[in-house]
Amino acid sequence: MRKRKTKAILCLLTAMILALSTASCAAGEPSSPGTQDTPQAPSVPVTPDTPDTPDAPETPDAPDDSDDPQAPKTFTDPSGAEITVPEEIGTIAVLAPSLAEMVVALGQGEKISACDTSSVGLEGLREDALVLDLSNPDMEQLVALSPDLLLVTNMSLYDQEDPYKPLVDLGVCVACVPTSDSIADIMSDIGFVAELLGETERGDEIVAQMQSQVDALAAIGSTITEKKTVYFEISAAPYLYSFGSGVFLNEMIELLGAENILAAESGWLSVTEEAVVTAQPDVILTNVNYIDDPVAEIMSRPGWDAIPAVANGEVYYIDNMASSVPDQNVVKAMEEMARAIYPDYYGD
């Protein structure tokens, strides 16, 4: 699927910034989610009859374009900002790999004219796309590109005005999809992007397939009574990093019938080796992809041979992008996790 490894900084940046509060995308009073209110053009008044004057010809009312699929529509994006989507979307800029993969899955990948550095190499992405820094995009380049739609997350959005006001002033639709922490929210994000792109049917199909796969895995997990404990590492020694509750990866572990050793904590966490050794996890998962053999590195750590997962060889690599990026591909990571934790239940 991918042509290059994700940089080490992606893991750390993604984990730390996911915990930040959500910002808004563009100025405007928010409406209720899902509304598509199209402004109506006012009717041209008819000149009233006057004595001794021929009747003035009636001017027909301006057409009601609220049901016109080509008319601009207003939405409230997931950040709470009201945005207006243009009649036609010919070019799209995306500043997050999750959003890039959503757009590609919705069949609009050829419209992506600019992407962030972390998205380079994703399957279905144009090789000639302008490459921008995710957290600090070059605004002059974006203004020159002037895409019809710019999709960002809270990882590259600082406040309601900066840094995208020049684009908004040019009429660029800037939509913010804050990074989601649950499977349900990820599905909702897919539905939102699909609606923006006029691909609601395709979006519904993607979400329905995701839900079916998650339900099938969770049904097996609900039958497991002897639950294994799991430590999921997203940054290797000496800077161990993982997560507690309130993160989609923790939700996936629980749906599979296992327990996260850090579930009592919340969000993305720095972890000490002592804490992991003390917790004695039955299984260790890692999505670290910036060292040659992350599994061997874990297995060779001094003092870790007393951990059941290490002693029994229950240390496994999980695809980095599938487990790091909150989009439809998290189900692939969930399936890998299932087979690693409970091969007897989820094996082929």
pLDDT band with cut points at 50, 70 and 90 for residue 30: very low
| The pLDDT of residue 154 | 85
31 class by beta-carbon count within 10 Å (0-12 exposed, 13-18 middle, 19+ buried) = middle
Segment 69-95 shows an average pLDDT of 87
Tens of pLDDT, residue by residue over 202-215, are 999 999 999 999 99
User: Sign (positive/negative) of CA torsion 243, 116, 192, 146?
Assistant: positive
> What's the longest Cα–Cα distance across the chain?
105
pLDDT band with cut points at 50, 70 and 90 for residue 25: very low
Q: In whole angstroms, what separates CA 125 from the centre of its chain?
A: 16
Q: How is residue 39 written in tokens?
A: 């402004």
| The pLDDT of residue 144 | 94
Segment 32-54 shows an average pLDDT of 37
Segment 193-209 shows an average pLDDT of 97
- Can you tell me whether residue 258 is helix, strand or coil? coil
Q: How is residue 119 written in tokens?
A: 């998205």
Tens of pLDDT, residue by residue over 237-270, are 999 999 999 999 999 999 999 999 999 999 999 9
With a cut of 50, say whether residue 16 has pLDDT above it: no
Q: How is residue 270 written in tokens?
A: 């720095």
**Short-list 312, 308, 284, 287, CA closest to 298:** 284
| The pLDDT of residue 136 | 83
Tens of pLDDT, residue by residue over 117-142, are 999 989 999 989 999 998 888 889 99
| The pLDDT of residue 157 | 65
| The pLDDT of residue 83 | 92
Provide the residue count of the chain: 348
Distance, CA of 260 to CA of 232 (rounded, Å): 8
Domains of the chain: 75-179 (3.40.50.1980), 224-346 (3.40.50.1980)
With a cut of 50, say whether residue 89 has pLDDT above it: yes
Segment 226-239 shows an average pLDDT of 97
Segment 300-325 shows an average pLDDT of 97
Tens of pLDDT, residue by residue over 158-185, are 554 567 888 888 889 999 999 999 999 9
| The pLDDT of residue 51 | 41
With a cut of 90, say whether residue 193 has pLDDT above it: yes
Q: Roughly what angle, to the nearest 10 degrees, separates helices 97-105 and 183-196?
A: 60
| The pLDDT of residue 251 | 98
pLDDT over 70 for what percent of the chain?
A: 78
